[in-house]
Amino acid sequence: MWDRRLGEDRKHLLVIVFVLAALGLFARPSAAGTITVGWDPMTEANVTGYRVYVGTSSRTYTQTFDVPADKDFFIFRNAYMGVRYFFAVSAQFDNATYGPRSGEVSAVGTRTVDGSLPAGARVPDPALAAECAADCFVVTDIARGLGEISSLAVTSDGLVFAIERGRRVVVLRGGEAVTAFEAEPGTTLRDLAVDPRFETTGRVFVSLLRAHDGRSGALEVLRLRHLAGTLGEPSTIVAGPTVPLAASAPLALGDDGLVYVALPALTARHPYSAAVLSFDQDGRAPAGQSSPVVARGLDEPADMAWDTQSRAVWLVGRDAGSDVQLVSVSRTAAGAAVSILVGTGENAAAVAVASGTVRRLVVAAGVDLIETVPGTADSLRISLEAYGAPVAVAAYGGARYVATRSEGANAAYRVLKVEDGSTAATR
């Protein structure tokens, strides 16, 4: 990734443009991808908006897009593969005049190939180099025609678990969904996570809601063991509070041996309202903690993922009335927020940590995956518009596993594996 910062001075105010990513995920040369353009916002009280200029020749702009004053980025969704685009931004003042344009930046739409790479192919194998290099992504179907998918998890050996229709946990094998566990009547499965030591323990943890009525249910966390293709030996390790049926209470498993649960906002006096809790794998508060509460979380958590490098969980969601937030929560340090470029109307659905060559946080939002490197301005988008809107993500190493939902009255779900081209080609 790169960060080009150029601008012009107007009354000592600086408009800066930086191209964060140019990623198209379509196999055809004519398909469009996205380029995200961001800038440092101006602080003048009479700034009423921004205008983004786009063209395919330097300083010759054929399209303009207006952005509200409270936004500091724009997503250009018509970047054709292999075409270089040039961008500049100007600020609008008093709903009337525009200041000078910023310095210009440019980016090229990249490309993808399908997953049918030749066996044993390696970059820069001549048979492969023309199809996929380090700047493209390989998208492979894991399973298609599934019912609603609400959660994904992947083991170190590539075993993919998913919750389908809130009724069963399936294992995805050979393009098929094989039932490994079914919910009891009156319960709805919500989230799942695998033990980082799965190869040794075989443990999978599932959260569920046991309905009280049509509006709320009691949260429980089950510990299961993967045996001969099924999930058995169920044990309830957490019997939590009553939460709204429409709310999420995501799970994460740490390599510190703990189970993390993020609760939504509950009643004002509830001690666990909008909190991140931790338990050992038998459901007890961790040693040295008088309470399972780790820290405050978010009012509306969407998903959570463990980060081995920072030894913390990443939580994505919203507080009441806020924009999407991505927050790091640790037992040893105060939570830290990371800025992510989520557009108006995009709801964050899921988060995962991809720990390939560069550790990235992967957030599903709108029709894209947004990846950001903690502590940097390095961010990119992977458009999945051709496959549907991402609703759940998991990651292991540099590979991302994504459940997508197609649009229309008869929505269908599929699970994809999305890999960096250079990684996928060295198998």
Burial 385-402 (b: 16+ CB within 10 A, else e): bbbbbbbbbbbbebbbbb
Residues 325 and 262 in one domain: yes
- Residue 423: pLDDT above 60? no
- Of the pLDDT bands very low, low, confident and very high (cuts 50, 70, 90), residue 20 is very low
79-93, 100-114, 243-257: segment of lowest average pLDDT: 100-114
Whichever domain contains 186, its CATH number is 2.120.10.30
pLDDT at 421: 64
Residues 67 and 133 in one domain: no
pTM, to two decimals? 0.76
pLDDT at 182: 97
Q: Report the pLDDT averaged over residues 314-322.
A: 89
Question: What are the C-alpha distances in Å from 231 to residues 36, 153, 178, 183, 335?
Answer: 42, 14, 11, 11, 34
Q: Which residue has the higher pLDDT, 361 or 135?
A: 361
The alpha carbon of residue 380 and the mean position of all alpha carbons in its chain are separated, in whole angstroms, by: 12
Q: Calculate what percentage of the chain has a pLDDT beyond 70.
A: 81
The verdict on residue 117 lying in a domain is: no
Q: Report the pLDDT averaged over residues 195-214.
A: 93
Residues 79 and 175 in one domain: no
- Residue 173: pLDDT above 80? yes
- Residue 187: pLDDT above 80? yes
Q: Which residue has the higher pLDDT, 280 or 134?
A: 280
Average pLDDT, the chain: 81
What is the rounded distance in angstroms from the CA atom of residue 393 to the CA atom of residue 400? 7
Residues 81 and 184 in one domain: no
Q: Report the pLDDT averaged over residues 332-356.
A: 79
Domain finish residue from 109, 136, 153:
109
Domain finish residue from 48, 82, 109:
109
Q: Which residue has the higher pLDDT, 222 or 338?
A: 222
- Of the pLDDT bands very low, low, confident and very high (cuts 50, 70, 90), residue 321 is confident
pLDDT at 198: 95
Residues 298 and 168 in one domain: yes
pLDDT at 355: 81
pLDDT at 109: 63
15-29, 97-111, 315-329, 377-391: segment of lowest average pLDDT: 15-29
pLDDT at 410: 74
125-134, 147-156, 324-333: segment of lowest average pLDDT: 125-134
- Of the pLDDT bands very low, low, confident and very high (cuts 50, 70, 90), residue 80 is low
46-50, 379-383, 384-388: segment of lowest average pLDDT: 379-383
- Residue 135: pLDDT above 80? no
pLDDT at 21: 37
Residues 98 and 133 in one domain: no
Residues 14 and 97 in one domain: yes
Residues 255 and 325 in one domain: yes
What is the rounded distance in angstroms from the CA atom of residue 9 to the CA atom of residue 111? 36
Give phi and psi for 377, each to the nearest 5.
-90, 10
Domain finish residue from 83, 109, 135:
109
- Of the pLDDT bands very low, low, confident and very high (cuts 50, 70, 90), residue 240 is confident
The total domain count for the chain is 2
Q: Which residue has the higher pLDDT, 317 or 322?
A: 317
Residues 148 and 235 in one domain: yes
User: Which residue range is the domain that position 32 belongs to?
Assistant: 9-109
- Residue 13: pLDDT above 80? no
Residues 95 and 132 in one domain: no
Q: Report the pLDDT averaged over residues 303-327.
A: 91
The verdict on residue 116 lying in a domain is: no
Whichever domain contains 18, its CATH number is 2.60.40.10
Residue pair 230/209 in contact (Cβ under 8 Å)? The answer is no
The verdict on residue 303 lying in a domain is: yes
148-152, 153-157, 236-240, 320-324: segment of lowest average pLDDT: 320-324
